[in-house]
Amino acid sequence: MPELVIELHVPLEPDPDVTEGEYKFPWIDDITEALEELIEDGDADSYDDSEEVGDHYVWFLTGEDEAGVLSAAGNLATRSGVPSGVFAIVTDSDSTEVGTGRRVDIT
């Protein structure tokens, strides 16, 4: 039976508050660290490694309850410094292409 997968798509936009010479996307590390905490707390799990896909950075979350995993994705998307325009794709482990499934706008 296929597993639930929630793709969290965040626009790959540099943080406007970083200064010249600093890493332009500190929110990537922030979301990754926050996801690790959610995993430890049992609120969601990571399905696959995150990656850059087109003009978005994508995390792959899974869990038993769609609403719970979407809530966890929403918590990640609304962290300070994360660009607006975040959306999730609800799909499953049988999907062979990123971005295929039901879209849920988050921010």
pLDDT value for 44:
92
Q: What is the pLDDT of residue 68?
A: 94
Count of domains forming the chain = 1
Amino acid letter at 96? T
Residues 6+ apart with CB under 8 A from 20: none
Tokens for 54? 């087109």
CATH number at residue 45: 3.30.70.260
Quote the domain boundaries for residue 53: 4-105
**Number of CB atoms found within 10 A of residue 40's CB:** 8
From CA 76, how far away is CA 46, in angstroms rounded? Answer: 13
pTM of the model: 0.94
pLDDT mean over 83-106: 97
Burial status of residue 77 (CB atoms within 10 A of its CB: 0-12, 13-18, 19 or more)? buried
